Copies of this chain bind each other. A is one copy, B any other.
Amino acid sequence: MVWSRNRKIIFLFSSILGLLMVGLASFLPFMGAKAAAPKAMLTLTARQAQAAANCSKKTASPSQYQVIGNANTVQWGYFSKKSPPVLAVHSKDYVTMDLITHHAGDDYARMIQGDPGIESIYQWTASEKGVKERGPGVHVLTGPVYICDAEPGDLLEVRIVDLKLKPSGNPKYAGKTFGSNAAAWWGFHYKNLSQEPKPREVITIYEMDATGKQQYAKAAYSFKWTSQTTPDGKSHATIDYPGIVVDHGKVKETLNVLNGVKVPLRLHIGAMGLAPKEADIVNSIPPGYFGGNMDNRHVAAGTSMYYPVSVPGALFSAGDAHAAQGDSELDGTAIETSLVGKFQFILHKQAKLAGTILDKVDYPLLETPDSWIVHGFTFRNYLAELGPDAQTKIFQLSSLDPALKDCSTKLRDFLMNGMNLTEDEAYSLMTVSGDFAITQVVDGNWGVHGIIPKAMFNPKQIKPKPVA
């Protein structure tokens, strides 16, 4: 494996530790070890300078990096072009990173306790928080990773080389991984409950074999959400703040849930993408042209996502790891769990895209071994289309009908630009062979994805892939 040949556990930026201490809301990245990290503030400018410095040192073969998930390597609830990178990498480099679930607080003992990184993220006392800013969205996002030489107009290919369950850090649950499904107020089902009490939010905790030998999850228990009080003294009658640690003395656990049911695992990444250019802080919940919280269950090991770059360095982040989810993510969440992902980044410069299958791709595109998958949304670019209040409005305008229109337009254009088809050929082919599915109906900017099989094309008659 390339991994063992050139592994680097690097402590980026460590040379300037302590030199720059400024009050910006940014954290020093800490990587490669689980011990408590020294904390320091570093300006965006300084981090970017550091990234630029690292970018100037290119090695002959791809480098390997690791980013441990902890309070210093994540941001909670947003994508931001202003976020200082945790790492700068060159095209073709590999990065292994922890993807820590934002639902771990549903069962502290099983999903937080004993893992110093996760503990540091969730740390919250009356006087301090491990991650100072949470919101406006909900996802714990590892990153961002700065891609050297990436500029607006380029396309970033993110190959998911590997994706593994992260074992519980608690010795009591050795060899197990747990996940939480929250049937929550933002779920599509929430106004469609048939039984009392309604409405209600219900958490189901799922248990998995961390070794991956058993390819299924089983429900461990469930509980109805009851009002929880956070260290700041606030009460939360519903799941209205990210990362609330549930007091299990205040909920009633129901055992023997989903007896005998073995839910097939579908490890994938719910939220992954680049920093958008339109706003400084972008809520992590609604997906868009930059990817983000697409919640497509096909974004799994062995696939590649292509994202249009809209800010220098691309600024890649990932989180919202899922053990299993069906198309639609109906009740609001998947089996939310923590995973470890290994990624390779391939930068496709704009100038080299013409004449390739990726020509004019300005939307998030997934390549699986068997298919190309385009992603449509209620709004193609809600940040630009909905004006200054876009991040509020988007949650009031959700609909699948325009998402299918957006998705079918993108698939048509992909077939015309990448597969050399006329418009009439494209529409006929996508009708007789393309499948449109409901990606999610819980993230504001609702999603539809269109799948086109690869095998039906004659490689000689379509455009080539760009040289990596």
Listed in ascending order, the chain A residues whose CB lies under 8 Å from chain B are 181, 183, 187-189, 192-195, 202, 204, 206, 216-217, 219, 222, 257-264, 324-335, 399-401, 404-405, 408-409, 412-413, 421-425, 427-438, 441, 448, 453, 455-458, 460-461
CB distance from A216 to the nearest CB of B (A): 7
CA gap between A405 and B436 in the complex, in Å: 17
Looking at A204, A425, A428, A429, the one whose CB has the most chain B CB atoms below 10 A away is A428
Q: Given the known inter-chain contacts A423-B195, A457-B261, please indicate yes or no for A331 contacting B428, CB distance below 8 A.
A: yes
The 4 closest A-B pairs by CB, nearest first: A260-B458, A400-B400, A327-B435, A328-B436
Q: Which residue of B lies closest to A196 (CB)?
A: B423
Choose one: B263, B427, B438, B460; the contact of A183 (CB below 8 Å). B427
16 more A-B contacts (CB under 8 A) besides A192-B409, A437-B438? Answer: A189-B408, A189-B412, A192-B412, A194-B413, A195-B423, A216-B456, A222-B424, A222-B428, A261-B456, A325-B431, A326-B433, A326-B434, A329-B431, A331-B430, A334-B432, A404-B441
CB distance from A248 to the nearest CB of B (A): 18
A-B residue pairs in contact (CB < 8 Å), sample of 6: A202-B424, A257-B424, A260-B457, A261-B429, A262-B456, A331-B427
Please indicate the chain B residues that have their CB under 8 angstroms from the CB of A206 in the complex.
432
> Are B264 and A456 in touch, CB under 8 angstroms?
yes
> Are B328 and A453 in touch, CB under 8 angstroms?
no
CA gap between A123 and B5 in the complex, in Å: 74
Looking at A206, A412, A429, A458, the one whose CB has the most chain B CB atoms below 10 A away is A429
